[in-house]
Amino acid sequence: MTNLQIDPDSLDGAGQALEAVAESFFAAVDRFAGSIEGVTAACGGDEIGGLIEQAHTEVFEWARECFQDAAQGIADAGFDVRDFATQHLNADNEIAQIFTQLSSELGGS
């Protein structure tokens, strides 16, 4: 195995950055939804316009759900990366404590 260096602070920062991207993505989806929802009025009130509006609404709702799922996936990844950083830092601290205790018990300084 090669030398593996894990920097918990960098991991946490990367996780925070992913969470920030997800928040920006959620906000962009909301802005997009706001601008699209007003477009359906342009379809008109006749039968053909009603069919166009219905198709538009169905496609838009599907697309919005996909975008929101993608944003949630990014947010979840950010949380997971931050959790990994915390777990790694906790493991490092436990190992350091064990070595300090062993050193003390063996008469080290």
- Count other C-beta atoms under 10 Å from residue 35's C-beta: 9
91 found inside a domain: no
77 found inside a domain: yes
| Count of domains for the chain | 1
51 found inside a domain: yes
Name the token pair of 59. Answer: 């496609």
7 found inside a domain: no
Does the predicted TM-score (pTM) go above 0.85?
no
Cβ(70)–Cβ(25) below 8 Å: yes
pLDDT, one tens digit per residue, over 15-67 is 999 999 999 999 999 998 888 877 767 777 788 888 888 888 899 999 999 99
Per-residue burial over 56-76, b if 16 or more Cβ lie within 10 Å, else e, is eeeebeeebeebeeebeebbe
CATH number assigned to the domain comprising residue 67: 1.10.287
